[in-house]
Amino acid sequence: MAETLICGRVLTFSGDPFAVPVTEAAHVDTQGAVLVRDGLIAAVGPAARLKADYPQAQVEDMGQALILPGFVDAHVHYPQTAIIASWGKRLIDWLNSYTFPEEMRFADPAYASEIAARYFDLITDAGTTSVCSFCTIHPESVEAFFAEALKRGQRVAGGKTCMDRNAPDGLRDDVQRAYDDSKALLEAWHGKGRITYAVTPRFSPTSTPEQLEAVGALWGEHPDCLMQTHLSEQTDEVAWVADLYPEARDYLDTYEARGLLGPGALFGHAIYLTDRERDRLREAGAAVVHCPTSNTFIGSGLFDMAGLKGSGQIVGLATDTGGGSSFSMLRTMAAAYEVGQLRGTPLHAAQLLWLATEGSAQAMRQSGVIGRLAEGAEADIIALDLASTPAIAQRSVRAGDIWEEVFPTIMMGDDRAVSGVWIAGRRVKG
């Protein structure tokens, strides 16, 4: 059987760097290697030992590059690829002006396939190997997304976005169609290749209580799937939900009362949470997903990373393309650092890398499968050049330790820093 040995400076985590000191959680072997066999990681250790133990392995020497898991983006909208970085709107206006008109085009299978291919090309260049994506209400958009992921061998999650009110004609389904379409797609794709289905109500304002109950029932019938939606992104959105659901205790209760809270639930944004919501999210084993470039670009607010992680909440990291302004998880980590600074709780480079890999994998219930370099994990791996531009190189050369060397790439890096990408053990970049 073919074996590949990827050599460089290998980053591994033995713990959550938010829960234990970074020096205990994160480890960099400056002369390390990762052995890949049949799409899985077969061994991680010193390069000299692995070369001796596996002399038949093909060696891919990445020099001084940092070897780490492929980035995991836990909340995206692939249909918004073509409208990323659209100017100057708050959430509701942004949806009406840009998102909804673009999403109407995904009734066309050819267009959906074109954008799906473009999206995967862009994220691969940026070092992202797994995503959890909203599609549109059109089954064709889901088919295109999953077909492209299957062709490329990528581990992804996604689902048909369900909306039966407060959306334009052409982007609304109804209660029965939301259930039936989602169920048919789930049965066709869930578990095929590396695909996970995610039951996907867009958010409470665009679903009637009856539709939320229907998709909640579907998730209850298939609890091994994920559920993804939005929660408390902006203050006017929270007020809108209160008007639409006057009986609810809070925004989260609009989901909780209808079977849409539990392990495998991913709630994007989660900025304006009440104390009850924080407690219930943690108790239920649900995940929240930090979308920092989106939250600053659309003017939503500042996510409480320190408070949520400090209480034991599962937290992932995401670009939220196209509300987010970049496809790059490096740019997303930089924005997360900046948000932390504004809250007086800056994040360490190791914490940022952990969020973009293991943290997001945990949010997607894929911990141990993706997002880490460990024996038995799937071989989604990237190499980061820590001197990819003159500006980064002149700063990193002055670094006193590995984290000072990594940090300029987090803050200033882009796709040029990603010098190698392997998906399921197959090299696709570099």
User: Residue range 319-332: average pLDDT?
Assistant: 95
User: Is there a single domain that holds both residue 290 and residue 307?
Assistant: yes
Segment 93-108, tens digit of pLDDT = 878 888 889 999 999 9
Given a cut of 80, is residue 92 above it in pLDDT?
Answer: no
User: Is there a single domain that holds both residue 29 and residue 9?
Assistant: yes
User: Residue range 195-202: average pLDDT?
Assistant: 98
Residue carrying structure tokens 């048919």: 184
Structural domain harbouring 287: 71-363
For residues 283 and 244, the answer to whether their CB atoms sit within 8 Å is: no
Chain centroid, CA 112 distance in Å: 20
At residue 89, the pLDDT reads 72
Q: Which residues pair with 76 in a beta bridge?
A: 133
| CATH assignment at residue 37 | 2.30.40.10
Chain centroid, CA 279 distance in Å: 23
312 versus 86: the higher-pLDDT residue is: 312
User: Is there a single domain that holds both residue 269 and residue 243?
Assistant: yes
Given a cut of 70, is residue 1 above it in pLDDT?
Answer: no
User: Residue range 355-382: average pLDDT?
Assistant: 98
* Cα–Cα distance, 313 to 283 (Å, whole number): 9
Segment 276-289, tens digit of pLDDT = 999 999 999 999 99
At residue 220, the pLDDT reads 98
* Cα–Cα distance, 158 to 425 (Å, whole number): 23
Is the preceding peptide bond at 322 cis, omega within 30 degrees of 0? yes
User: What are the structure tokens assigned to 147, written together?
Assistant: 């077909």
End-of-domain residue from the set 336, 363, 390: 363
Nearest to 374 by CA among 352, 353, 358, 360: 358
Segment 328-348, tens digit of pLDDT = 999 999 999 999 999 999 999
End-of-domain residue from the set 337, 363, 389: 363
Contact partners, residue 17, CB within 8 Å, separation at least 6: 25, 26, 348, 350, 351, 354
Contact partners, residue 138, CB within 8 Å, separation at least 6: 106, 107, 112, 160
User: Residue range 398-403: average pLDDT?
Assistant: 96
Given a cut of 90, is residue 54 above it in pLDDT?
Answer: yes
- What share of the chain in percent tops pLDDT 90? 93
CA dihedral of residues 361, 367, 372, 377 (deg, nearest 10) = -120
User: Is there a single domain that holds both residue 161 and residue 273?
Assistant: yes
At residue 420, the pLDDT reads 98
User: Is there a single domain that holds both residue 240 and residue 295?
Assistant: yes
User: Is there a single domain that holds both residue 63 and residue 158?
Assistant: no
User: Residue range 139-168: average pLDDT?
Assistant: 98
* Cα–Cα distance, 428 to 287 (Å, whole number): 30
User: Is there a single domain that holds both residue 126 and residue 248?
Assistant: yes
For the chain, the three-class secondary structure string (H helix, E strand, C coil) is CCEEEEEEEEEEECCCCCCCCHHHHEEEEEEEEEEEECCEEEEEEEHHHHHHHCCCCEEEEEEEEEEEECEEEEEEEHHHHHHCCCCCCCHHHHHHHHHHHHHHHHHCHHHHHHHHHHHHHHHHHCCEEEEEEECCCCHHHHHHHHHHHHHHCCEEEEECEECCCCCCCCCCCCHHHHHHHHHHHHHHHCCCCCEEEEEEECCHHHCCHHHHHHHHHHHHHCCCCEEEEEECCCHHHHHHHHHHCCCCCCHHHHHHCCCCCCCCEEEEECCCCCHHHHHHHHHHCCEEEECHHHHHHCCCCCCCHHHHHHCCCEEEECCCCCCCCCCCHHHHHHHHHHHHHHCCCCCCHHHHHHHHHHHHHHHCCCECCECCCCCCCECCEEEECCCCCHHHHHHHCCCCCHHHHHHHHHHHCCHHHEEEEEECCEEEEC
At residue 87, the pLDDT reads 83
User: Is there a single domain that holds both residue 61 and residue 198?
Assistant: no
At residue 112, what are phi and psi to the nearest 5 degrees?
A: -60, -40
At residue 274, the pLDDT reads 98
* Cα–Cα distance, 162 to 211 (Å, whole number): 8
User: Is there a single domain that holds both residue 54 and residue 94?
Assistant: no
| CATH assignment at residue 267 | 3.20.20.140
For residues 397 and 126, the answer to whether their CB atoms sit within 8 Å is: no
User: Residue range 8-35: average pLDDT?
Assistant: 98
End-of-domain residue from the set 307, 342, 363: 363
For residues 133 and 268, the answer to whether their CB atoms sit within 8 Å is: no
User: Is there a single domain that holds both residue 87 and residue 226?
Assistant: yes
User: Is there a single domain that holds both residue 259 and residue 404?
Assistant: no
At residue 91, the pLDDT reads 73
Quote the number of domains for the chain: 2
Contact partners, residue 418, CB within 8 Å, separation at least 6: 125, 126, 127, 382, 383, 384, 385, 429, 430
Whole-number average pLDDT of the chain: 97
Given a cut of 80, is residue 18 above it in pLDDT?
Answer: yes
Given a cut of 80, is residue 88 above it in pLDDT?
Answer: no
At residue 86, the pLDDT reads 85
User: Is there a single domain that holds both residue 62 and residue 199?
Assistant: no
